[in-house]
């Protein structure tokens, strides 16, 4: 009787060890999948950001030249375009929490806890 219990406990221990190993492998695969999605998304967004900056640079230069032609002063055109970007930067700074921080927190929570439901506020 004691020998049967020992053999069953030994078999149970082996099954639990195998189960723990499988769960560890599943967790590793889940983490690898999430990290690869994060990395590819990060790389795409970084690339698109630089493309956007180059486009914005050329459009800003064109706008400054155009305004400078109208006002017959290129410096005035550059100052007006620079002032516009200063106002945009101020607005972004004032609205940084609802625009950037809250969505980033929601995305991070969804990344860390994907099966806990909707993380929208």
Domain ranges for the chain, please list them: 2-112
Contact 99, 92 (CB under 8 A): yes
Contact 74, 84 (CB under 8 A): no
Contact 120, 106 (CB under 8 A): yes
Q: What is the pLDDT along the chain (121 residues), one digit of tens a residue?
A: 788 888 888 889 999 999 999 999 998 988 888 888 889 989 999 999 999 999 999 999 999 999 999 999 999 999 999 999 999 999 999 998 888 888 888 877 777 777 765 544 4
Name the pTM for this structure. Answer: 0.58
């Amino acid at each position: 009787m004691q020998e049967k219990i020992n053999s069953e406990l030994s078999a149970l221990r082996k099954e639990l060890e195998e189960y723990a190993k499988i769960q560890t492998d599943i967790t590793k695969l889940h983490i690898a999948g999430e990290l690869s999605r994060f990395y590819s998304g990060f790389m795409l967004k970084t690339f698109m950001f630089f493309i956007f900056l180059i486009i914005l640079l050329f459009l800003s230069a064109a706008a400054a030249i155009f305004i400078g032609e109208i006002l017959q002063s290129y410096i005035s055109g550059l100052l007006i375009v620079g002032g516009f970007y200063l106002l945009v930067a101020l607005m972004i700074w004032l609205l940084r929490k609802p625009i950037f921080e809250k969505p980033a927190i929601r995305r991070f929570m969804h990344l860390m806890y994907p099966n806990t439901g909707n993380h929208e506020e």
